Structure 1
Amino acid sequence: MTTEVEIAARMAADSTRNRSRTNRLDTHAIDAVVIGQHRNPFAVLGPHQIATGVWEIRAFIPDARNVEILGWDRDTVLATMERRQEAGFFAGVVKADQRPGYRLRVENLHGSETRYDPYSYGPILSDQDLSRIRDVGSDAPYRILGAHQATIGEVEGFLFAVWAPTASLISVVGDFNSWDGRIHVMRLRHGMGVWELFIPGLKAGTRYKFEIKGPDGHTLPLRADPMAFATEQPPATASVLHAAKDFSWNDQGWIAERSAQDQRKTPMSIYECHLGSWARVSSEGNRYLTYREMAERLIPYVRDLGFTHIELLPITEYPFDGSWGYQPVSLFAPTSRFGTPEDFAAFVDAAHEAGIGLILDWVPGHFPNDPHGLGYFDGTHLYEHADPRQGYHQDWGTYIYNYGRQEVSAFLVANARFWLERYHLDGLRVDAVASMLYLDYSRRPGEWVPNRYGGNENLEAIDFLRRMNETVYSTSPGTLTIAEESTAWPGVSHPTYTGGLGFGFKWNMGWMHDTLRFISKDPVHRRYHHHDLTFGLLYAFTENFILPLSHDEVVHGKGSMLGKMPGDRWQRFANLRAYYGFMWGHPGKKLLFMGGEIAQEREWNHDTGLDWHLLDDPYHRGVHSLIRDLNRVYRDHPALHERDTEASGFQWLISDDAENSVIAWARRGESDDSIVVVISNFTPVPRSGYRIGVPLPGFYQEIMNTDAEGYGGSNVGNLGGVAAEETESHGHPCSLSLTLPPLGTIMLARSPSQNG
């Protein structure tokens, strides 16, 4: 930020430049100010030297009856201002050897108040500051633009800055000026198109927006601040002034430990959560829980279940509840539905104190067309492409960011940094990456524009994603980025220096679709769909994968996880338990959407809380207990997580028993003798004496059986474990003779001996 000495020098220079044309102020200039159409209000308002040692001070205060000019630090009346125009234009003369400091005492219908004049201040942000808003990877966009609490001289207020290069006029409006766009017109500062105004005396918590006149002079709908740090609660749409002081953090140890981890080798079990519908307070009108209430309830719950992370569906402020947050307007503000920015920071801190990481669902792929948002922001297509073939999502009715515009990419990358640095979040799951990568995404021929090489790759979006990932990993060590990318785009989670996109992980959408298709079949037909279980292992190590059972699988008529399962009630629950065991034993990190852990019966509804009463039922309670134990086993056995992304950590044991719908493999940890064998039987037939070859001798302890009585199963199993026999099978020198439970998954951990 510019020093006060530099500000004073600029103010003096402004005065000298304007002196000759401000000696005489014609009525046209006054009229332009009064009707809010003067494009340079600083040339008219504020102090202007009209002769040696004589200054005329001018102010436009529509509701004033009388205005007096007071000294800077005392209540001495220097002059009484003359009303020059009935609408509220005042002027008064004072004598001073240099540009005077002063205050205005305004008398109106409500009494008298003393205020500082915004037009007495010169430019505050430096040209160097302003030029940095184009620096992709810098935090300058959110540190320079927006509304920042500032002290200029000894006066506190808020400094506003907004990027709108083709606007003809911009005003700050709010409760403090009765939303009158004539009163606080901003100064156009820079060739970059940044407008600036310091308004003294404003306090945090005040509502505001920008009134923008487009290049043709037409007044646009009031815009929310793109950089607002806080907002009022939807459906209201105003930005709210926020004093962005440092929060009180207690997570230094967590941050240090996080930075030292290789997350590809650590257990990662993610609880995906929509904060607005995890639980509601039915006794108080079905209201939301607050961030602080969720710190007290959600975080201990997740910790008890053994999840390592919570992934939040988008909490960047969004106007429409039905978008679940995927159509955000204020990307720098945590939604006010659940409390203040301080409350959200306290929620993050509580998660870290409990040993839980927080991942934000982040939406840089598109934005809604709400009139207070970014669309057509300054009367032109500023943030989005002008051509709808590039700038408009037909499926979602949203705008697409123009990643080729440096200011836009800088804005988005700065936003990624903001959440990780300002709020200490542990990662970003990037929504709808496929829609960003392909110019012809969900478009027919003729509805898209090829790139400069004639291809369908969005080269600007690819460059943006790479820059974003490089920035995140260099500025926030220990954090992670995750791509929701549903195609076979190569190298999504490979480093950028090898030609990859640079993400840390990628959702394995193919695994999810294939295995859900398999498990939804009646067991009698599964033999014909066995490849749905095995196909994913052909590419399981081409990326750093997360296995997602996300919110998208339990909405829009798809039914709940339990609802996808065939058979009678017992079989449905057994199928679900077997499938979860299969998932937790499969290579890849884990993600489960809330409600899946209690076997929710109905589809997810964002307007109501989960059906917690289901835990009174032993079958539902059994699934809940199973998830807790799966997370414990996954965490406690390195073979199940250390080589999640490496082919050397996986070994097929049985892949071809389609007739019995049995599948088996061995998982290995960093130590070659660290082995867990995973076997799933996806038929309701228990199988005794089922022989399976294993790579090493020893005792194989049964550490997980999804058919255990405590989970609601039939308790068919192996009485704690089985010793390997020196009987060759499946190409291995030794083997196990097992009892496979019906519709069950078992896991057996090897030890050198039964006592080992």
Structure 2
Amino acid sequence: MEDSQKLALIREEQWLAEYEPQIQQRFDRYQEAIIGIDEFSGNILEYASNHNFYGIHFEVWRKGWVYREWAPAAKQLYFFGDFNDWDRRSHPMKKSGRGDWEIFLPFDQYKDSFLHGSKVKVHVIADNGELDRIPAYIRRVIQDEHTHDVAGQLWFAADFKWTDNSFSTKNSLKQPLIYECHVGMAQEKMGVGTYQEFEEFTLPRIKAAGYNTIQMMAIMEHPYYGSFGYHVSNFFAPTSRFGTPEELKSLVNKAHEMGIAVVMDIVHSHAIKNVNEGLNEFDGSQHQYFHPGEKGYHEAWDSKVFDYAKREVQQFLLSNIRYWLEEFHFDGFRFDGVTSIMYSHHGLFMDFDSVDLYFDDNVDEDAVLYLQLANTLIHTLKEENISIAEDMSGMPGLARTIADGGIGFDFRMAMGVPDFWIKTLKHKQDEEWDMFELWHQLTNRPQAERSIGYAESHDQALVGDQTLAFRLMKEQMYFSMSVLQQNLTVDRGIALHKLIRLVTLTLGGEGYLNFIGNEFGHPDWVDFPREGNNWSHQYAQRLWSLVDDPLLRYGQLDAWDKAIIKLATDYLLLAAAPAVQLHLDPDKKILAYERSGLIFVFSFHPTESFFGLAIQVPTAGKYKILLNSDEKEFSGFERLDQTISYPTDKHQCLQLYVPNRTVMVLKKV
């Protein structure tokens, strides 16, 4: 095949040349799948509309409610609940030839019993016995406070009045500045936060902070709060522990009014193994939604693994994507556990130190195809929708278009960056920091694929790990954060916290992510109520009072975060071409580079400041300091004079005074 006819991924990435057959086969398989979908359903939108068929719906033409369930291996299904006084046998469902079960409830007969807010279940008789289950496509699930019994809930609320028709995600797609958050732990109270509280109290903070996108965790219903939302039981139900579906819609609508895109953390990588709440063995078989046997069990996560090759599973998951985008106006998804999806070994205990590993027999090509179909659907529904992959394997083409030979995500998470910071802070003294390694770790990524850079996310905030702020300052955060006192540990920690976040923001990708509260150095880890902590909410909250207190240095870290996010916004830093290195001195711990016309000069030296340091810049002229981390408002020592202009000399160099542990951003006047 001539070069001009090859897929762009093969043509542009010479190191993949020997894997051309596998990449081409992946692309051909996708094209065949799309043809098959068109023949089966007409198009991918119709293919992804099972949620409008299965579940509970009012059919005007029949004047009543219909409930449908796919359970091919089941022997008998019965619909029951408040409407029939929980009689498990009075309402049998009828089975069709393709494994669908159905029951119709006429409006005239059930208008006084089949009501908004009443509870329902389905009784399934199958090879695994007689069990009460939650309908697979149910839109709302609630748990009894006293008995902890879980049931589906009928939800016939009036249509929500959206006012976000003019909202566009163009700014977020250009350079996503993402605020990762969790509704339940977003308030400063010893209890679970609500959608309403998040809209009223947290959204204004995010708007003021300058972020243009929020990434919402734990939206899909999950029975165990402490799972951070990653053990999903009911895929079409927004969790009721935070409030009603209308309150979630109101939150999204308000975010859009503020100009903020809303991305949902979607969990299609696995499902909870619970039989009472979830999909596991719904029709009595092991292989309805999941792989049978060992292949269907995720040992590390103690959960079930979807069979992505099965048409009904594809339709279930794709319909789930369409449902969240259309019903709740989400602007896209961050796909959790993409590494686990793509490989039969789930990426466990793997270093991915050979290109062969991206194309060997351990790659689940059915799962890769599913991800391609998911991205096709997301961008068919709305071209501006955003899709982000959480993958630690480095799969080539993950964030390239399918037409290029890729998998179709818009962005990939730069998961190696936070790992680099943890390794550096854990194992190296300040004087041992390697500037070459720092530059390499933050810039070494596929140039044709866009990445979301981040210094830390929720993963680093969890109990058992440590946030950057806590790694840097330890227990001194609890006792020595007053602006009225000085503490060497806190001084060092704050200085490095500021440097780490700005160098990651400007070098680490084409997007940036921060976890709620980490921008101001939230002092505590995240630990949800559980038996091991006596079901306490102490560490499942955000202490906003710390950042609001003018006598504490948390507010100064917050001011720095606002300043760097504004810098990125004003100069479209992450949408600009990659940074160009101007100066690197391993002994002085100096790193300087240019991006988007700005000059960044970092000193990571723990003790020494440098006078008359020569930094050659791309353009001759006068430069002024636009921003520097040593300002008092940012908890600095005011060693730099921002009123001074710096002319280039005959060698086109700036002669700078560079204090230790500072960064300055300069702009040509």
TM-score range, shorter chain: 0.7 to 0.9
Shift of 1:613: 3.0
Residue in 1 that maps onto 2:445 = 539
SS at the partner of 2:88? coil
Provide the rounded CA distance (Å) in 1 between the counterparts of 2:499 and 2:429.
12
Shift of 1:421: 1.3
Amino acid at match of 1:652: Q
Matched, 1:150 2:59: yes
Tell me which of 252, 255, 267 is aligned to 1:348: 252
Residue in 2 that maps onto 1:741 = 659
Tell me which of 589, 595, 598 is aligned to 1:667: 595
Matched, 1:335 2:239: yes
1:641-660 to 2 correspondence within 5 Å?
A: 641-643=574-576, 648-655=577-584, 657-660=585-588
Residue deviations 1:319-345 (CA, integer Å, cap 9, x gap): 001101001111111110111111110
Shift of 1:660: 1.8
Of residues 700-709 and 389-398 in structure 1, the stretch that sits farther from structure 2 once superposed is 700-709
Provide the rounded CA distance (Å) in 2 between the counterparts of 1:287 and 1:719.
45
Provide the rounded CA distance (Å) in 2 between the counterparts of 1:704 and 1:650.
18
With normalisation by structure 1, the TM-score equals 0.74
Matched, 1:580 2:508: no
Residue in 2 that maps onto 1:677 = 599
| 8 A contact 2:125–2:131 mirrored in 1 | no
State how many pairs are aligned: 586
Residue in 1 that maps onto 2:9 = none
Shift of 1:533: 3.7
SS at the partner of 2:575? coil
| 8 A contact 2:435–2:589 mirrored in 1 | no
CA separation of 1:341/1:611 partners in 2, compared to 1, >3 Å: closer, same or farther? same
CA separation of 1:296/1:133 partners in 2, compared to 1, >3 Å: closer, same or farther? farther
Tell me which of 384, 387, 392 is aligned to 1:481: 387
Provide the rounded CA distance (Å) in 2 between the counterparts of 1:253 and 1:709.
41
Matched, 1:698 2:621: yes
Residue in 2 that maps onto 1:562 = 469
Shift of 1:384: 4.0
| 8 A contact 1:133–1:410 mirrored in 2 | no
Residue in 1 that maps onto 2:552 = 618
Residue in 1 that maps onto 2:636 = 713
SS at the partner of 1:253? coil
Of residues 679-688 and 550-559 in structure 1, the stretch that sits farther from structure 2 once superposed is 679-688
Shift of 1:519: 4.6
1:274-423 to 2 correspondence within 5 Å?
A: 274-281=182-189, 286-372=190-276, 373-423=278-328
Query: Can you give the 5+ residue segments of structure 2 that lack an aligned partner in the other structure?
Result: 1-39, 351-355, 474-487, 529-536
CA separation of 1:700/1:263 partners in 2, compared to 1, >3 Å: closer, same or farther? same
Provide the rounded CA distance (Å) in 1 between the counterparts of 2:45 and 2:69.
17
Amino acid at match of 1:490: P
Shift of 1:520: 4.9
Provide the rounded CA distance (Å) in 2 between the counterparts of 1:137 and 1:497.
22
Q: CA RMSD in A?
A: 2.5
Shift of 1:300: 0.6
CA separation of 1:559/1:162 partners in 2, compared to 1, >3 Å: closer, same or farther? same
Provide the rounded CA distance (Å) in 2 between the counterparts of 1:166 and 1:348.
39
Amino acid at match of 2:130: L
Matched, 1:592 2:496: no
Provide the rounded CA distance (Å) in 2 between the counterparts of 1:591 and 1:194.
43
Amino acid at match of 1:559: Q
Provide the rounded CA distance (Å) in 2 between the counterparts of 1:717 and 1:520.
31
CA separation of 1:720/1:417 partners in 2, compared to 1, >3 Å: closer, same or farther? farther
| 8 A contact 1:547–1:591 mirrored in 2 | yes
Shift of 1:544: 0.5
Residue in 2 that maps onto 1:173 = 80
Provide the rounded CA distance (Å) in 2 between the counterparts of 1:135 and 1:650.
40
Provide the rounded CA distance (Å) in 2 between the counterparts of 1:203 and 1:150.
15
Residue in 1 that maps onto 2:570 = 636
| 8 A contact 1:518–1:533 mirrored in 2 | no
Amino acid at match of 1:242: W
Residue in 1 that maps onto 2:457 = 550
Amino acid at match of 1:632: K
CA separation of 1:738/1:187 partners in 2, compared to 1, >3 Å: closer, same or farther? same
Amino acid at match of 2:586: A
Matched, 1:209 2:121: yes
Shift of 1:405: 0.4
Shift of 1:721: 5.2
Provide the rounded CA distance (Å) in 1 between the counterparts of 2:428 and 2:396.
35
Query: Can you give the 5+ residue segments of structure 1 that lack an aligned partner in the other structure?
Result: 1-130, 669-674, 729-733, 752-756
CA separation of 1:132/1:314 partners in 2, compared to 1, >3 Å: closer, same or farther? farther
SS at the partner of 1:702? strand
1:19-168 to 2 correspondence within 5 Å?
A: 138-153=47-62, 155=63, 157-168=64-75
Shift of 1:565: 1.7
Provide the rounded CA distance (Å) in 2 between the counterparts of 1:271 and 1:470.
25
SS at the partner of 1:623? helix
Amino acid at match of 1:473: H
Amino acid at match of 2:502: G
CA separation of 1:220/1:133 partners in 2, compared to 1, >3 Å: closer, same or farther? farther
Residue in 2 that maps onto 1:196 = 102
| 8 A contact 1:137–1:413 mirrored in 2 | no
CA separation of 1:332/1:561 partners in 2, compared to 1, >3 Å: closer, same or farther? same
Matched, 1:461 2:360: no
CA separation of 1:524/1:219 partners in 2, compared to 1, >3 Å: closer, same or farther? closer
| 8 A contact 2:226–2:527 mirrored in 1 | no
SS at the partner of 1:232? strand
CA separation of 1:468/1:524 partners in 2, compared to 1, >3 Å: closer, same or farther? closer
| 8 A contact 1:345–1:423 mirrored in 2 | yes
Residue in 2 that maps onto 1:273 = 181
| 8 A contact 2:215–2:265 mirrored in 1 | yes
Shift of 1:591: 0.4
Provide the rounded CA distance (Å) in 2 between the counterparts of 1:158 and 1:287.
37
- Specify which structure has the higher proportion of helix: 2
Matched, 1:182 2:95: no
Provide the rounded CA distance (Å) in 2 between the counterparts of 1:314 and 1:133.
33
Shift of 1:530: 4.3
Q: Which has the higher contact order (CA 8 A, sep 6+)?
A: 2
Shift of 1:346: 0.6
Tell me which of 231, 236, 245 is aligned to 2:141: 231
SS at the partner of 1:503? coil
Of residues 491-500 and 134-143 in structure 1, the stretch that sits farther from structure 2 once superposed is 134-143
| 8 A contact 1:524–1:683 mirrored in 2 | yes
SS at the partner of 2:150? coil
Residue deviations 1:135-159 (CA, integer Å, cap 9, x gap): 7863321000011133355x4x421
Amino acid at match of 1:206: S
Shift of 1:441: 2.4
Tell me which of 228, 236, 253 is aligned to 2:166: 253
Matched, 1:504 2:414: no
Provide the rounded CA distance (Å) in 2 between the counterparts of 1:540 and 1:665.
19
Residue deviations 1:665-693 (CA, integer Å, cap 9, x gap): 1003xxxxxx0111221123322222111
With normalisation by structure 2, the TM-score equals 0.83
| 8 A contact 1:383–1:401 mirrored in 2 | no
Provide the rounded CA distance (Å) in 1 between the counterparts of 2:290 and 2:254.
41
| 8 A contact 2:273–2:304 mirrored in 1 | yes
Provide the rounded CA distance (Å) in 2 between the counterparts of 1:748 and 1:333.
49
Provide the rounded CA distance (Å) in 2 between the counterparts of 1:422 and 1:552.
29
Residue deviations 1:329-365 (CA, integer Å, cap 9, x gap): 1111111011111111011101111111111000001
Provide the rounded CA distance (Å) in 1 between the counterparts of 2:156 and 2:339.
37
Amino acid at match of 1:231: V
